[in-house]
């Protein structure tokens, strides 16, 4: 036993960092195992540089899906943060709690105590919202949540076009009403990325009760059915870090199921295929994989007011220098400053399409800009019925797992995506945006029929990088559940999960906020505390949703 702690957490990402902070705050001794290194440096800390870290091997695990049949056999990148702060250090910094109905659905699926009234107080506890007093929002938490300045006129033009198309304006989609168009929120504070590392890990380290060990977690070590530590590889040596109380996996929805399976917890036949002794036969481990798939609808701009003017060596150098000297300017924003949440059809009771607006036409990885001045909106369905899996490719912990999303494998996905494209075109035809549109770059005016749209989706749809659900939470007697409503892995003792793996179903929007919330709530379960008191605020929605789409 190389080292020991009361609680050992695998993964210094969104859930693990929040969990570590709350345990340390309660006076507990905590050790976090993280394979990645420091998050210092401008590529991570400068919000405007967001396209870089997720494409740098030093910060990213480098995962990719298996060839996806529904997308013409393409392998899609699946970035996961390998660095302090985890994916919160490499993501787009967009802050979306999810819709209230998402969490009520979790509870209906067996995650008792995780309805919206239960999780709202945890969202409020974690937030330091800079939008003014609101009974819906937190004002003193460690996670700063801000809005961009929307100085570029295209942001407000996009919001106005949504209103002209007949949709509501939402002043706070994380508050009483998600549906509508309005300002987008981000984990950015004083011009810096406010990752889980900045919000949670650094304050926790200052107490002296948190240690971070840089190592590759290989498997959970058990005595009988009780987790007693984690086997790691560090500096070429294999060691065991002992846990006096419990082990918690917060290693991502890709690495958490991999570690469970390497530890003997998972589908028995699959484990035996790899020569792994079965400790707990849990069919749900690695199943239920979900993601948001999206397309970038791009438009050429009539006026040279987009960020393309900085899309050159001198422009990027100027933006970077301004940020380094003063922490201000374009580098201080992720440039996702306007958004929308709409319903795709009558009879759908809460939004199932999300928009991120960006005042430049560019790939997410920053590798190509389209045709000079332009802008784009990222859009896709929020609740795909397709489900995939994470499976072991080898019993060697150094080998990446096999990831199969099965994107577009459900026929409803195609109908929903077609609606996304057609509804988006209608929004950009409104006067507020039409004044800025020269022409549609992609899909392009020639793409009109169902078959043409489907071919475009097959070739161009990309992951929004929101994988989740691979160790889903449910009732202890649910054969498909992996953890119970307190985060405990079913079938063993002393082991929990506290990351997006536990989501029964993907939430409406980006996943960083609900992943952090999971860490916050599991901390109270670990400490044996009564959950925070339920808050029965009633969210607003469309009163006529049964009969109208907007």
Give 190-212 as a DSSP string: TTEE--HIIIIIHHHHTTT-EEE
Is 295 inside any structural domain? no
**The total number of structural domains that make up the chain:** 1
18, 257 contact by CB (below 8 A): no
Helix (H) or strand (E) holding 232: strand 226-234
- List the beta bridge partners of residue 188: 193
Give me the count of residues in the chain: 550
Question: CA 57, CA 55: separation in Å to the nearest integer?
Answer: 6
Question: CA 534, CA 35: separation in Å to the nearest integer?
Answer: 37
Is 151 inside any structural domain? no
Q: What six digits make up the tokens of 142? A: 């460690």
Is 460 inside any structural domain? no
Pairing of strands 185-186, 192-193: unpaired
pLDDT value of position 404: 98
Q: The tokens 């240690």 sit on which residue?
A: 211
Q: The tokens 């339920």 sit on which residue?
A: 534
Q: How far is CA 494 from CA 287, 486, 504, 526, in A?
A: 22, 12, 22, 10
Question: CA 97, CA 173: separation in Å to the nearest integer?
Answer: 9
Is 64 inside any structural domain? no
522, 114 contact by CB (below 8 A): no
Q: Among candidates 272, 259, 265, 279, which has minimal Cα distance to 397?
A: 259
Q: The tokens 């060839």 sit on which residue?
A: 67
Question: CA 437, CA 446: separation in Å to the nearest integer?
Answer: 16
Is 177 inside any structural domain? no
50, 474 contact by CB (below 8 A): no
Is 23 inside any structural domain? yes
Q: How far is CA 491 from CA 34, 73, 195, 220, in A?
A: 26, 37, 34, 14
Contacts of 522 (CB under 8 A, 6+ apart): 15, 19, 248, 486, 487, 496, 498
Q: Among candidates 379, 387, 349, which has minimal Cα distance to 468?
A: 387
Is 30 inside any structural domain? yes
> Which sequence positions are flagged as catalytic?
466
Is 80 inside any structural domain? yes
Q: How far is CA 511 from CA 54, 64, 95, 97, 336, in A?
A: 16, 19, 8, 8, 15
Point out the residues of the chain with pLDDT beneath 50. Answer: none
240: CATH: 3.50.50.60
Burial of 206 (0-12, 13-18, 19+ CB in 10 A): exposed
23, 30 contact by CB (below 8 A): yes
Question: CA 36, CA 87: separation in Å to the nearest integer?
Answer: 11
Q: How far is CA 108 from CA 92, 103, 510, 533, in A?
A: 31, 9, 22, 19
Q: Is the omega angle on the peptide bond into residue 501 within 30 degrees of 0, that is, cis? A: no
pLDDT value of position 371: 76
Give the domain extent around 103: 1-36+72-146+186-287+468-535
């Amino acid at each position: 036993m190389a080292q020991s702690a009361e609680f050992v957490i695998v993964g210094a990402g969104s859930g693990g960092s929040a969990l570590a902070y709350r345990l340390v705050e309660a006076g507990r001794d905590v050790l976090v195992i993280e394979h990645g290194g420091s998050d210092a440096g401008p590529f991570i800390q400068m919000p405007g540089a967001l396209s870089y870290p997720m494409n740098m091997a030093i910060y990213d695990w480098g995962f990719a899906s298996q060839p996806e049949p529904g997308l013409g056999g393409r392998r899609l990148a699946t970035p996961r943060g390998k660095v302090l702060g985890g994916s919160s250090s490499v993501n787009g910094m967009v802050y979306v709690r999810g819709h209230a109905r998402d969490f009520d659905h979790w509870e209906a699926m067996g995650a008792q105590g995780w309805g919206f009234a239960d999780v709202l107080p945890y969202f409020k506890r974690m937030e330091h919202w800079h939008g003014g007093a609101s009974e819906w929002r937190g004002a003193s938490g460690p996670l700063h949540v801000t809005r961009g300045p929307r100085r570029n006129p295209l942001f407000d033009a996009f919001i106005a076009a949504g209103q002209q198309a007949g949709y509501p304006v939402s002043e706070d989609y994380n508050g009483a009403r998600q549906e509508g168009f309005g300002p987008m929120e981000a984990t950015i504070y004083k011009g810096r990325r406010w990752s889980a590392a900045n919000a949670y890990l650094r304050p926790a380290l200052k107490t002296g009760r948190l240690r971070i060990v840089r190592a590759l977690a290989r498997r959970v070590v058990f005595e009988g059915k009780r987790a007693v530590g984690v086997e790691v590889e560090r500096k070429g040596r294999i060691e065991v870090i002992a846990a006096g109380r419990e082990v918690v996996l917060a290693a991502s929805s890709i690495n958490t199921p991999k570690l469970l399976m390497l530890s003997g917890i998972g589908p028995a036949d699959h484990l035996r295929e790899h020569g792994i002794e079965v400790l707990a036969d849990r069919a749900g481990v690695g199943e239920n994989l979900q993601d948001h798939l999206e397309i970038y609808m791009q438009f050429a701009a009539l006026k040279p007011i987009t960020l393309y003017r900085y899309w050159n060596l001198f422009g990027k150098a100027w933006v970077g220098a301004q940020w380094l000297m003063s922490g201000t300017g374009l580098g201080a924003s992720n440039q996702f400053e306007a958004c929308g949440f709409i319903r795709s059809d009558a009879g759908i009771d809460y939004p199932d399409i999300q928009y991120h607006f960006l005042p430049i036409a560019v790939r997410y990885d920053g590798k190509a800009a389209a045709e000079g001045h332009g802008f784009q909106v990222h859009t896709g369905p929020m609740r795909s019925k397709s489900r995939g899996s994470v499976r072991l490719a080898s019993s060697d912990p150094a080998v990446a797992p096999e990831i199969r999303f099965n994107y577009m494998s459900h026929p409803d996905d195609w109908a929903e995506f077609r609606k996304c494209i057609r509804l988006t075109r209608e929004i950009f035809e409104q006067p507020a945006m039409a004044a800025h549109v020269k022409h549609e770059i992609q899909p392009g005016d020639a793409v009109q029929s169902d078959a043409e749209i489907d071919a475009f989706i097959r070739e161009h749809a990309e992951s929004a990088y929101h994988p989740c659900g691979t160790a889903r939470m449910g009732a202890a007697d649910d054969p498909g559940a992996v953890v119970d409503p307190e985060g405990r892995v079913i079938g063993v003792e002393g082991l929990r999960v506290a990351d997006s793996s536990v989501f029964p179903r993907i939430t409406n929007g980006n996943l960083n906020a609900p992943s952090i919330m999971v860490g916050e709530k599991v901390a109270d379960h670990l400490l044996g505390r009564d959950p925070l008191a339920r808050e029965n605020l009633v969210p607003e929605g469309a009163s006529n949703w049964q009969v109208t789409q907007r």
